[in-house]
Structure 1
Amino acid sequence: MSRRHVSAVLGLVAGVLVAVPAPAAHAAAVQVRCSVPDLVAAINAANGSPGPDTLRLAHRCTYKLTAPDPANPGTGLPVITSEITIDGRGATIKRDERGHEVPKFRILLVGPTGNLALTRTTISGGFATDCPAFPDPPGLACGGGISNLGKMAVTRSKITGNTSRSDVFAQGGGIDNPGTGSVSETEVTANHVIYSGSDIGSGAAGGAIANDGPLTVTDSRLTGNTATVTENTQSFAFGAGIISFAETTVESTVISKNRSFARGGFARATVSNGIPAPGRMTITGGSITDNTSDAPNGVAQGAGIANNALMTVSGVKISGNRAVAENGTARGGGVRVGPFGTLDLTDNHITGNTAEAVGGTAQGGGLDNPDGGSLTAKRNKILHNTVTAKNGTAQGGGLYHAGGSEGLGRTTLEENTITKNRAGDGGGIFKAPSGVLTLNGDDVRANRPNNCSPAGTVPGCTG
């Protein structure tokens, strides 16, 4: 559900600008004083120079923006239109939120011809009010901190406290990447994506990062981000950590304590991909832990991962995630596969995840493949996952499998360990009548109240 599909689902900078001489191509780095006008002038000069430029910010300075760029009212600084390196040296660039008169704008926009390398810089307090990559229909908001339409490399930086909010569709609380991007050794934390409208079936996607890619994220931390939607609009809050609509690679990255919330709607996964994304999402190493998808009177799907396109996950710790839906449906505490999803899981630890639905239906504490998707799982540890539903239905502590409306769902297991999981029925595995589920050398034991249910539906599994 990218901005390209949303129609279906649904001043001056403070102070006087001080001109600085434009640096010559390949000139030495420009030292930018601790002054917003100096920073604005330096970016304008670099945009106008024929070659790459490096701007070195004042050590640990805080550049406080109080008004947007006159030519681009949705963005605080001039649009990056050339090859520019910003070496922050520990500096912060933030929207000054003191007082009620400060307008809302993101911090940085990389234009289609731009190439930004951002290092050792904190980007904070941005508030997206437009969506530069998708100007029609109006009202979309993308990229609260940074929106990249060109090329972008963010290294050893912090993207924090930014917001993308819209009453049409919102995407990318911290970073929105329709261009080509990379994020490495960077913390993306406490960013928010919010759908605030009243239309039925819209959404908020990518609390930390939204990608229309390609994008690579390595050795980074995506923590404490949120995706929320207006209650009772049947809208989608998804990808509180990262949402992918294109080729995405995530390596050795910690994704934790993010939250998707949709009362009377759909809360879908901290790590999610679109329907259907043209590129594969690949996650290697790192962890996806302690994230929550919460949908009271709605549907919570895949608190850790929700896959509805192409995805490969290997060597990842997926633990402590919670899909919660009081009086609703909660499925896939750890991982959920959607109807269009093809997911390969290898050598992961899927432990201590929970699907919980008081007064409703909860299925798939560790893994959930209910709607006709394809799941292949090899050599995973699927341990201590739980499904609970007081006064409701609780099935499939380790795995819930069904074929979907067309009965086409397929789950292939090989050499996995599925032990000490718990549910009301099918503590290890619950298999619905439709679809195909096969075991090959899997260790299914010590689950409560039983290993597989209904009895005899999973060849090779007893008790």
Structure 2
Amino acid sequence: MRSPDGRPYRLARTCTYTLTAPDPENPGNGLPAITSEITVDGRGATIRRDAHGTKVPKFRILFVGPTGNLTLTRTTISGGFATDCPAFPDPPGLACGGGISNTGTMKVTRSKFIGNTSRSDVFAQGGGIDSPGSGSVSETEVTGNHVIYSGSEAGGGAAGGAIANDGPLTVTGSRLTGNTATVTKDTQSTAFAAGIISFAETTVEDTAISRNRAFAPGGFARAAVSNGIPAPGRLTVTGGAISDNTSDAPHGVAQGGGIANNGLMTVSRVKISGNRSVAKDGTARGGGVRVGPFGTLDLTDSHITGNTADAPNGTAQGGGLDNPDGGTLTARRNKVLRNTVTAKDGTAQGGGLYHAGGTTGLGTTTLQENTITHNRAGDGGGIFKASGVLTLNGDVVRDNQPNNCSPAGAVPGCTG
């Protein structure tokens, strides 16, 4: 649907439209469901739910139905609060897409999603955007959104603080910053992908993903950029930066600060820096990148620098790269620099890389022409190999502390 003269609907320039009640026909949504072709040019306008009114119900802002086709430009979506999941009506209790839930076709450009929330007692995903339909997001800021598992049962989850994709989806030239994924304390639940979660084919290009936080006390906190367990489609990240993100799981397990891969993933020309995997009294793996037991990761021409795995009184492994559970990692022409593993009164291994074959012993890491220098750990300052197959081919492993590779002789072609 367009305006009568065929042009896009144009909102009043920089105006704020405040919603105090949901659509009467579908109380989960602020505006009527989009079931046809609609083009909206916001011209800098904001559509927001009145989050300050004590009697205002909770509802998302926009829902694109299976027959809908939304083009949204220059619009801010704010304050939406999802308590249902129209894409997955069974089982009840799921919540998807605090700002927008797209089950049709969606094209978002030069817009903002700020301060939206998806919360559930079962499973929540997509604090800002949830897209099980076909979608694209370009030149868009997704900031300060939240995905929350608030249940008391074990095994719940919160995924995709900024964006959750059941695909296909392309994200280009955008910023996903300051989003969170959290779960109820001590429920053995999983908070993952405070930036973006991929459950289907996903492409991320020239996008900054920074300062996002997954928090799971007594549970599992998993990386700002993650895919499913395992995801059926490939997650491809090209260009841009994944920086200063945190996965925090006190007395739990933190699995990757920047990236956690448990499916098919390709990463090239990405700056992965300043990320943290933290688990006081627990296990912290992969400050920069973690590969799971079903993961296959191709990592090329990227910088993995200044990342940290830290587990006071626990076990920390893989400051830069971590492949501990039988996954497949192929890394070519990367710089793995100044990553750190610390564990006061605990175990700290693999400043640059930690590798183990997993329960099957079949996990493989293949390195080619990488530079692994100035990394630090309690042991294996450059590389710690516990088991499995790890090969070097023209790599430079030097100036790591307290040693380059450990145990002695475990990595052919690497000394001390």
Fold shared by both chains (TM-score > 0.5): yes
Q: How far off its partner does 1:383 sit?
A: 0.2
Task: Write the distance in 2 (CA, Å) between the matches of 1:302 and 1:322.
Answer: 8
Task: Write the distance in 2 (CA, Å) between the matches of 1:232 and 1:276.
Answer: 24
- The count of aligned residue pairs is 416
Q: 2:225 aligns with which of 271, 295, 309?
A: 271
Q: How far off its partner does 1:278 sit?
A: 1.0
Say if 2:409 is the partner of 1:456.
yes
SS at match of 2:113: strand
TM-score, normalised on structure 1?
A: 0.89
Task: Write the distance in 1 (CA, Å) between the matches of 2:239 and 2:141.
Answer: 17
| Code of the aligned partner of 2:407 | P
| Code of the aligned partner of 2:294 | F
Look up the match of 1:98. Answer: 52
Q: How far off its partner does 1:332 sit?
A: 0.1
Say if 2:163 is the partner of 1:185.
no
When the two chains are superposed, the root-mean-square deviation of aligned CA atoms in Å is: 0.9
* Contact 2:3–2:9 (Cα < 8 Å) also in 1: no
Say if 2:371 is the partner of 1:417.
yes
Look up the match of 1:445. Answer: 398
Q: How far off its partner does 1:240 sit?
A: 0.2
Task: Write the distance in 2 (CA, Å) between the matches of 1:190 and 1:412.
Answer: 38
- Residue deviations 1:430-457, cap 9 Å, x none? 000x210000000000000000000000
SS at match of 1:104: coil
Task: Write the distance in 2 (CA, Å) between the matches of 1:234 and 1:326.
Answer: 15
* Contact 2:338–2:375 (Cα < 8 Å) also in 1: yes
Q: How far off its partner does 1:303 sit?
A: 0.4
Q: 1:210 aligns with which of 152, 164, 167?
A: 164
- Residue deviations 1:198-240, cap 9 Å, x none? 1101100000000000000000000000000000000000000
Look up the match of 1:435. Answer: 388
Say if 2:205 is the partner of 1:251.
yes
Look at both structures and tell me which one has the larger radius of gyration over its CA atoms.
Answer: 1
Say if 2:54 is the partner of 1:76.
no
Q: Which has the higher strand share?
A: 2
Gaps of 5+ in 1: 1-20, 30-53
Task: Write the distance in 1 (CA, Å) between the matches of 2:408 and 2:269.
Answer: 32
Say if 2:98 is the partner of 1:120.
no
SS at match of 2:232: coil
Task: Write the distance in 1 (CA, Å) between the matches of 2:94 and 2:2.
Answer: 35
| Code of the aligned partner of 2:185 | E
Give % identity.
82
| Code of the aligned partner of 1:384 | R
| Code of the aligned partner of 2:402 | P
Task: Write the distance in 1 (CA, Å) between the matches of 2:59 and 2:76.
Answer: 16
Give the ranges of 4+ consecutive aligned residues of structure 1 lying more than 4 Å apart after TM superposition. Answer: 21-24
Q: How far off its partner does 1:403 sit?
A: 0.3
| Code of the aligned partner of 1:326 | K
* Contact 2:2–2:38 (Cα < 8 Å) also in 1: no
Q: How far off its partner does 1:28 sit?
A: 3.4
Q: How does 1:259-338 map to 2 (within 5 A)?
A: 259-338=213-292
Q: How far off its partner does 1:22 sit?
A: 9.0
TM-score, normalised on structure 2?
A: 0.99
Task: Write the distance in 1 (CA, Å) between the matches of 2:345 and 2:10.
Answer: 61
Task: Write the distance in 2 (CA, Å) between the matches of 1:126 and 1:97.
Answer: 8
SS at match of 1:137: coil
Q: 2:110 aligns with which of 146, 152, 156?
A: 156
Change over 3 Å in CA distance of 1:22–1:237 after alignment to 2: closer
